[in-house]
Structure 1
Amino acid sequence: MARLADEVITRIKQDVSLLRLVESQGHKVTKQGKDYVVCCPFHEENTPSCIISPKTNFFNCFGCGTGGSVIDWVMLTQGVSFRFACELLQKDLGLITEAPNKAPSKNTTTKLTPPLAANADSQTALKQVIDYYLETFKQSPEVQEYLRSRGLAHPELIDRFKLGFANRTLGYRLPEKNRKAGAALRGKLQEIGILRSRGHEHFNGSLVVPIMDEHGTITEVYGRKILGNRLRKGTAQPLYLPGPHEGVWNVEAFKASNEIVLCEALLDAMTFWVYGFRNVTASYGTSGFTASHLAALKQHGFVFL
């Protein structure tokens, strides 16, 4: 499938009025200074906390942290992919004229096939989520730009380590929780830690990197918030699955050389990898050298003096 041209995406984000779209869907918006405020449709609230800026044509909710462009709004409210959202907005603003006087109703069916098998075990479900995040990454210019800004826009890095992006659309691809299949899938994802107890995606707004062993089993997932100044004060940028850290990133590094480059941060380790140092791995932060790291070193014959 051909990739959407960057110029088309840019033109949609600039020329399609987010404010007009939101109003046409039936949402009540109120002017607040130069911006507008609306009750966020992505979480329950009585006092509007979602800001729409006509100047930037972006929205940002200070209640749940969701934000983005007019494309993101369509993806989230309609439960469709990035490509399909762009196609809808290109078709003479078809969404805007669809139901100008009706408030949006909560549909309990999704428009797209769920990315998870209904009977998947925990590891299979986790792999399917990671595959979905990889697909989302490749359709999300903002996270690709983030990688470029870090000097990490390397195609082999992305595919080899299955870099992904969690942009809140996973939940919109699942059957609703009032359906049997939806309740089962959401319950499974809560057990894994992909969804939190209230149903929100744990890694929302994050670059996502799975930690895999030599057999491809996912033992941990790392997330890095990339929202920048849209984050609430005090929000931790690095995220992991709940529970103790298991596994080692780039386990192949221990076979690549008789020396190991150990970084404190995963993104720093990726920088080494991109520049040819394939014998690199990372701990889980300052105090994140774990029993898994020690076991990997011993298993591959590293000597401690």
Structure 2
Amino acid sequence: MIPSEFIDELLNKIDIVDVIEEFVPLKKSGANYMACCPFHKEKTPSFSVSPTKQFYHCFGCGVHGSAIGFIMEYQGLSFQEAVQFLADRIGITVPKQTGNSNPQAQKIHKQQQQTLEQTTAAAATYYQQQLKTSSRAQNYLQQRGLSDEIITHYGLGYAPDDWQALAKIFQPYPSNALVNSGMVIAKDERHYDRFRDRIMFPIRSTRGQIIGFGARIIENGEPKYLNSPETPLFDKGRNLYGLYEARAAIKEAQRVLVVEGYMDVVALAQFGLGYAVAALGTATTAEHIRLLMRQSDHIYFCFDGDTAGKKAAWRALENALPQLKDDKILHFLFLPAEHDPDSYVRSNGLKPFEDALVNQSLPLSAYFWQILTENINLDTQEGKAELIKTASPLLAQIRAPALSYLLRQELSQKVGIDEHNLAQLLGQEQPRQPAIKQKSYRLPQNTFRQPPVMSLAQKQIRALLINPQWAVYIELPEYLDLHGDYACLAALAERIQASVTPLNSGAVLELMRNTEFEPVIRQIIHDYLDSPDVMQPGNEDDCTTFKQGMQKLLDNLKTQQIDALKRKLQHGTLSADEKQLLLLLLSPSKMPSV
């Protein structure tokens, strides 16, 4: 974990305007900056960035957050990756919150990481230079139809047919960095380059660092593809080829396509489809699924129609089940057995391929039942029993409430057993119909949505988010029954009061990330930050209104608790402690005021 104190420090040291302006052109508009929202299409700017609040908010689609949140959303990074991205930007080290953390060891580890990154970056530059001097490698890429623009975009290069070509740029050769980065193989006290006479495909992390390579042989030979080994930089199960290069296209298309090979990714980009990525010589892992879900709500898998392709698709589905979310949709497309995406697009063109992708791919649920029932006769009781046996352990892995409920309901219909009896048969709790929630943002533009009337507690939460310094006026005694929005307000104030540094709105939002109150706060921001004026700091009159609101809220809470205790008293269920509390609440002179 990253200490919360560091998050506060980071958000105090960076300027959200500078961060966002690297990706989105901003224009000054009053106290704030405005732009067309990068997260949905619009013609009139509704994306507002507040330098005083260090907070962004789109009044069109409702997306909002701190500088960390923007990098997570725009770059498709995890929280830790976004923090690292911003920390690297201003040259500070991210500490790790562990019981036996060793700052010196962390510093050494960071230096080793940087050395490996410098090594792979230098190798990539060398391979790119070698491509320019190798007519044979250039002819191969031209035959594959790749333009100079695509070659440059993906940083393709060529590893010479030389056992120690890297010795020309790395001295000493070998070095620990060359061996540890996987660029050089050590065997029987000899050292030689791993990659020789191959087209080189640099593999980048989500932050853009080159962490490894994929390499394709130019002529016939085995293996056709060769990848970097697992290294301190390179984890095949946690990275995807082409993701860094595809991010802008993914956001434009609002979908991401997963194919099987590097050349598929590059060839599709050559034909104008830039939102494809590929696994790195391994099956699609659970971490891949989580990474993909951070990029888009629509994830498409395209596999060859042969046995190997079908096996890979089912493996991807199995690994996806525990990661599924109700607002994410996975699709599966199988090409004719004689085609891969590269050959299909060359033969048929891009439009038929994208038409097939959108209109012929199967959503996960349809593919799930297709595979499970293809060799089962559901006209027999034995077939139904077999389906229950095979489907049940897979369904048990799904945590997405709505999808889980609907798939269990479909199993019930297929086998002719009602949901209650099926759950009893499997020794499981009967599935409950979930309350399907809409996402807290990304409403279609121009959608009319009348938010509910704000409660007093919600007004106080909104005011505190915009004016964190007002937390000093909040005191909600523990003996009061704090629940729902009241508990959220108390937790928010407590976290702000505990901070050793003044907090802006962006930092406050990060304080509540991954807490039980985060959804409440995000909903309030979404529903009630409906104009740039609302985001402006409050004046003295606003502060007086806030303090009066806190006193009224405290009075309401006391009244509610008194009424609840009186009801218990009437029923004779009041404990001794509760009697003392009731007497305390009924004695106004003993009650604290705001």
The counterpart of 1:237, out of the listed 218, 221, 224, is: 224
- Residue of structure 2 in register with 1:282 after alignment: 278
The counterpart of 2:180, out of the listed 191, 197, 215, is: 191
Q: Does 1:254 align with 2:250?
A: yes
Compared CA separation, residues 170 and 240, structure 1 to 2 (3 A): same
Question: Which has the larger helix fraction?
Answer: 2
Match for 2:225: what amino acid? P
Compared CA separation, residues 291 and 202, structure 1 to 2 (3 A): farther
Compared CA separation, residues 280 and 174, structure 1 to 2 (3 A): closer
- Residue of structure 2 in register with 1:161 after alignment: 154
Q: What are the residue-to-residue correspondences of 1:31-180 with 2, within 5 Å?
A: 121-152=115-146, 154-167=147-160, 168=162, 170-174=165-169
SS of the aligned residue for 1:162 comes to coil
Distance 2:129 2:290 in 1: 33
Compared CA separation, residues 295 and 204, structure 1 to 2 (3 A): same
- The TM-score, its normalising length taken from structure 1, stands at 0.52
User: Identity of paired residues, percent?
Assistant: 23
Number of aligned residues: 173
CA offset at residue 174 of structure 1?
4.7
CA offset at residue 297 of structure 1?
1.7
The counterpart of 2:211, out of the listed 197, 219, 228, is: 219
Distance 2:263 2:289 in 1: 21
Compared CA separation, residues 128 and 292, structure 1 to 2 (3 A): farther
1:220–1:247 CA contact under 8 A, matched in 2: no
Match for 1:242: what amino acid? P
1:254–1:297 CA contact under 8 A, matched in 2: no
Q: Does 1:207 align with 2:202?
A: no
Distance 2:132 2:287 in 1: 31
CA offset at residue 136 of structure 1?
0.5
Distance 1:142 1:292 in 2: 38
SS of the aligned residue for 1:223 comes to strand
Q: What are the residue-to-residue correspondences of 1:286-297 with 2, within 5 Å?
A: 287-297=282-292
CA offset at residue 155 of structure 1?
1.1
Distance 1:174 1:219 in 2: 18
Compared CA separation, residues 258 and 139, structure 1 to 2 (3 A): same
Q: CA-to-partner distance for each residue in 1:21-69, whole Å, 9 max, x for gaps?
A: xxxxxxxxxxxxxxxxxxxxxxxxxxxxxxxxxxxxxxxxxxxxxxxxx
Distance 1:291 1:218 in 2: 22
* Structure 1 unmatched ranges of 5 or more: 1-119, 176-180
- The TM-score, its normalising length taken from structure 2, stands at 0.28
* Structure 2 unmatched ranges of 5 or more: 1-113, 298-327, 330-363, 365-594
Distance 2:257 2:205 in 1: 18
Match for 1:194: what amino acid? M
2:200–2:216 CA contact under 8 A, matched in 1: yes
Compared CA separation, residues 141 and 290, structure 1 to 2 (3 A): farther
Q: What are the residue-to-residue correspondences of 1:5-24 with 2, within 5 Å?
A: none
Compared CA separation, residues 298 and 202, structure 1 to 2 (3 A): same
Match for 1:238: what amino acid? Y
Match for 1:195: what amino acid? V
Distance 2:286 2:202 in 1: 18
CA offset at residue 204 of structure 1?
0.6
Q: Does 1:268 align with 2:264?
A: yes
CA offset at residue 206 of structure 1?
0.9
Instruction: Tell me how large the CA RMSD over aligned residues is.
Output: 2.2
CA offset at residue 273 of structure 1?
0.6
CA offset at residue 192 of structure 1?
0.7
Q: Which has the larger radius of gyration?
A: 2
Match for 2:278: what amino acid? A
Compared CA separation, residues 146 and 292, structure 1 to 2 (3 A): farther
2:154–2:266 CA contact under 8 A, matched in 1: no
Match for 2:159: what amino acid? A
Distance 1:266 1:162 in 2: 12
1:250–1:280 CA contact under 8 A, matched in 2: yes
Distance 1:270 1:248 in 2: 13
2:199–2:215 CA contact under 8 A, matched in 1: yes
SS of the aligned residue for 1:182 comes to coil
SS of the aligned residue for 2:184 comes to coil
CA offset at residue 193 of structure 1?
0.6
Distance 1:130 1:224 in 2: 15
CA offset at residue 299 of structure 1?
0.9
Compared CA separation, residues 290 and 164, structure 1 to 2 (3 A): farther
Distance 2:286 2:137 in 1: 32
Q: CA-to-partner distance for each residue in 1:232-260, whole Å, 9 max, x for gaps?
A: xxx21111111241422222143232222
CA offset at residue 282 of structure 1?
1.6
Distance 2:255 2:242 in 1: 14
Distance 1:249 1:217 in 2: 12
CA offset at residue 157 of structure 1?
1.2
CA offset at residue 291 of structure 1?
4.0
SS of the aligned residue for 1:276 comes to coil
Distance 2:229 2:254 in 1: 33
